Amino acid sequence: MVKDYHCNIENIRNFSIIAHIDHGKSTIADRLLEYTGTISEREKREQILDDMDLEREKGITIKSKAVRLYYHSNNGKEYILNLIDTPGHVDFSYEVSRSLAACEGALLIVDASQGVQAQTIANINLALKSNLKIIPIINKIDLTSANPDRVIQEVKNISEIKEEEIILASAKEGIGTSDILEAIVNKIPIPKGNSNLPLRALIFDSVYNPYKGTIVYVKVVDGVIKPGMVIQTMSNNIKYEVAEIGIFRPKMQPIKKLTAGEVGYIIAGFKNIKDTQVGDTI
């Protein structure tokens, strides 16, 4: 795949994975990364050994919270899928909601033996409040204790989800991965936005790096952002020149521009995290 690959906004899908702790969220994410060639088997092993979900760049820990996948769909088209991570624990409901604000859809993972938990309901309510399209996935169907029929009924009872929308999967065995990717492409709405309008980008996370300053995670709502542009946030009038923009694959990879609907990072000489409040608009 081309290094600096862009596509029309119609071919972009932004989604998160919401799940009760231990229902298999990270394994499903790993399968999606492998299936789309984002990471190799070797990298996956290294990733688990190296960082336990934290990215190490020059010995600095970086939260890698927005990975870009390239997917060639059964319909013959190429898609950019942005997997935006959300904390798995309900105590992080503020963090979850700000991550969801950058998405149009969410994969809802429910364990085939444990079924719907209180946190599952809390997560569904958050997703619905954010107007997200929910793709329900019953995971771990390979377990001897699995009872998918019961769990299907539980999922249907707590929301407007139709039975035919539910995907049965086993992330461990790789069952259902292609069905999940096709559902992301076919069910999750296209991001709203226009690259010809003035720049508007939503900040959904930020992290401090001693070498590069504050790295801001953004979803571009309208317009285009390129290195050399002068930007400012809505909450203060300080102007910053963009030094670098890029995407996570899952390592940071600089690119030439981010356009409407895309998700990535910006480095622009922000001195501290306070300059870039989450939920703010650039």
Evaluate whether 232 touches 242 at the Cβ level (below 8 Å). Answer: no
Backbone angles phi, psi at 143, to 5 degrees: -70, 145
Instruction: Show the domain range for 24.
Output: 9-187
* Buried/exposed 24-35: b ≥16 CB within 10 Å, e otherwise: bbbbbbbbbbbe
Domain count, the chain: 2
Q: What does the block give as tokens for 138?
A: 């019953």
Instruction: Return the DSSP state at 170.
Output: B
121 and 251, same structural domain? Answer: no
List, for residues 27-65, the tens digit of each pLDDT value.
788 888 888 887 766 666 554 433 434 444 433 333 447
| CATH number of the domain that residue 139 is part of | 3.40.50.300
Report pLDDT for 201.
93
Residue 282 inside a domain? The answer is no
CA separation (Å) from 169 to 75, 139, 141, 154, 231? 22, 5, 6, 17, 44
pLDDT in tens, 70-80: 999 999 999 99
pLDDT of 5 reads 62
Question: Which helix H or strand E contains 190, and what residues bound it?
Answer: none
Contacts of 71 (CB under 8 A, 6+ apart): 36, 78, 79, 81, 181, 184, 185
Phi, psi of 266 (to 5 degrees): -130, 135
78 and 22 belong to one structural domain: yes
pTM of the model: 0.86
Does residue 178 share a domain with residue 139? yes
The residue among 187, 217, 242 that closes a domain is 187
- When pLDDT is averaged across residues 89-108 and rounded to a whole number, the result is 73
**What distance in Å separates the CA atoms of residue 102 and residue 37, rounded to the nearest whole number?**
24
Instruction: Answer with the residue of higher pLDDT: 28 or 224.
Output: 224
CATH code (residue 224) = 2.40.30.10
Other CB atoms within 10 Å distance of the CB of residue 99: 25
Whether the predicted pLDDT of 235 surpasses 50: yes
